[in-house]
Amino acid sequence: MQVVIVKAKSQVKEVDRLVKYCKRLDGTIVKIIQNDEKVTSYPERNNHALQQAFAVMGSKPFIWMEPDSIPLKKGWASSIEKEYYSLGKDIMISSDTHPPHDLVGGIGVYGGLAEKLIPAGISNEGWDGWMIKNIKPLISFTPLIQHSYGDYSRGCQPHMFPRDSRMIRSNSVIFHRDKFQGLIV
């Protein structure tokens, strides 16, 4: 299964670093899709980036990455692919949720009908939140993708690695959100 990232001008350094890390970790080749920069406001720009990935990948399942989603161990993409097919739904994302700070993360697998299920033009929220509100029964959830925006006991302070490494689950194969890419070694 192809691993995909959409590369924006504002994230060149981070995307390049992540792509090199994936290759060095276990030989995973990440497909880079250049962001067309047609949409620049948040959250529309993120939603547009996913639509760009759909335009390139079509109905072929792909693993969606962002610069702050860091693979944790060799074979991570294969583990995610195997889990995706075993769960049998068109979309698979993390099983983690942390209300009220964050409800969902979009890192995961998108395939089959995902392109048709997630409409272009979502403008008032991220596509991941939209999915939970509108198509949750069509999504599978996995603990293999660990999702956490930060230390919720301190008002959602961003994680800092290696300091916060103890909070990573042993069965996780990818961690989202390592804003500073401290898990890249």
Superfamily name with CATH number, domain 2-176: Spore Coat Polysaccharide Biosynthesis Protein SpsA; Chain A (3.90.550.10)
Between the alpha carbon of residue 81 and those of residues 66, 144, 153, the distances in Å are 17, 11, 33
pLDDT, one tens digit per residue, over 70-97 is: 999 999 999 999 999 999 999 999 999 8
Contact between residue 67 and residue 181 where contact means Cβ atoms under 8 Å apart: yes
pLDDT confidence bin for 135, thresholds 50/70/90: very high
Closest alpha carbon to 127 in 10, 39, 18, 19: 39
pLDDT, one tens digit per residue, over 153-174 is: 767 788 899 999 999 999 999 9
pLDDT, one tens digit per residue, over 137-148 is: 999 999 999 999
Model pTM score: 0.95
pLDDT, one tens digit per residue, over 9-42 is: 999 999 999 999 999 999 999 999 999 999 888 8
The residues pairing with 142 across neighbouring beta strands, listed in sequence order, are 94
Residue whose token pair is 């996780």: 172
- Domain range list for the chain: 2-176
CB count within 10 Å of CB 83 equals 18
- pLDDT at site 112: 84
In sequence order, the 6+-apart residues with CB closer than 8 A to the CB of 1 are 61, 62, 63, 77, 80, 81, 84, 109
- pLDDT at site 123: 85
Between the alpha carbon of residue 153 and those of residues 40, 98, 146, 180, the distances in Å are 32, 11, 18, 20
pLDDT confidence bin for 8, thresholds 50/70/90: very high
